Amino acid sequence: MKRARKALWRGLLGLALLGAVLWLADPARVLGQLRQAQPGWLLAGLAAAIASNIVSALRWRALARWLGADMGVRDASRWYFQAIGLNALLPGAVLGGDVYRAVVLQRAGRDTLASSWSVVLDRVSGLWMLCAIGGLGAAACAPQMAPLLRLPAVAFAALMLAGTAVWLLLPLALPWLLRRSGTHGEEASDSRRMEGHRPALLRRIGAWLAPLRGAVERPDFIAQLLQQAAASAAVQLLSAAALAAGGLALGVHIGWAAWAFAIAPVFLMAALPASVGGWGTREAAAVAALAPLGVPAAAAVGTGVIYGLYQLVQGAMGALAFGLPRSRRQVG
């Protein structure tokens, strides 16, 4: 009952935010923008959005196989689009779909921890590259963005590029961090044993991190990291193309660097567990991200709405996939 109440409040919050954004942008203008949308660009954006999620499914499969939770291409694609359907229909942004992916992989007979880590790392990989591309886009849009922070354009661009470089290198520190956590855990465990207490929590944490520790110590860790980076870059660039096509359908022409910047705040806000399917948070972020670039509020809201409709179409595809027969091919 309490969970249903939370879901209801999240849905109402998202709708209230969407209503407020529409009211500020003038509903008549937003509707007028959407009525004038060019079908060719709309279809191109939908194709790019679908392609983005197909690459996402293949990225997740590659990561799961690397962790020891193998699955076929058909199952990976089907489960991924089913998760999109859940994300589009249930409160909690991407969390519901992510939990679903981990559960179906476990039920297919794969290791529980490997299944869970495949979903966690797949999501982190996407967010990692999303922020990196957003940082590069912000650096390219320094003349428009720097005045917001009262910084010279050159200084703003330098900060964005330096921050993005550090951000991209962060995964290289993962083996060292996991070794440090293991060392500290063993020291704490020895200390507690000497005191006569059972370090149950430490053992659970150690067991939870064990698959990740083993994976990052493998000789192919760097190769897998580069593969994930390439796949995540393709996913985010295709997603940016989908968002840009939605904007172009409404006559928004701001350049690729601007769209590269916009995807970070728009997609991050849409992923917040404060609405259903990102409605409300996505449109508010679209206005905040695109306004400094000279995009009128009505066009920005319309762009966010179109991207949300892309997600609904794919959610419908995922809902249909629930009824498709499972692949007979069993992965050993």
Mean pLDDT on 125-153: 94
Q: What pLDDT does residue 96 have?
A: 74
Q: What pLDDT does residue 55 have?
A: 96
| Average of per-residue pLDDT values in the chain | 84
Mean pLDDT on 222-245: 95
Are the C-beta atoms of 188 and 234 separated by less than 8 Å? Answer: no
Query: What confidence category does residue 53 fall into, taking pLDDT thresholds of 50, 70 and 90?
Result: very high
Query: What confidence category does residue 10 fall into, taking pLDDT thresholds of 50, 70 and 90?
Result: low
Are the C-beta atoms of 94 and 141 separated by less than 8 Å? Answer: no
Distance between CA atoms of residues 276 and 280, nearest Å: 9
Give the residue extent of every domain in the chain: 14-321
- For the cut 60, the answer to whether the pLDDT of residue 189 exceeds it is no
Structure confidence by residue, pLDDT tens digits, 270-286: 877 776 777 888 899 99
Question: Tokens 């009525």 identify what position?
Answer: 35
- For the cut 50, the answer to whether the pLDDT of residue 197 exceeds it is no
Structure confidence by residue, pLDDT tens digits, 67-95: 888 899 999 999 999 888 887 766 555 56
The pair of structure tokens assigned to 190 is 């020895």
pTM of the model: 0.85
Q: What pLDDT does residue 328 have?
A: 45
Question: Tokens 């703003």 identify what position?
Answer: 156
Q: Determine how many CB atoms are found less than 10 A away from the CB of residue 27.
A: 14
- For the cut 80, the answer to whether the pLDDT of residue 12 exceeds it is no
The pair of structure tokens assigned to 166 is 């550090």
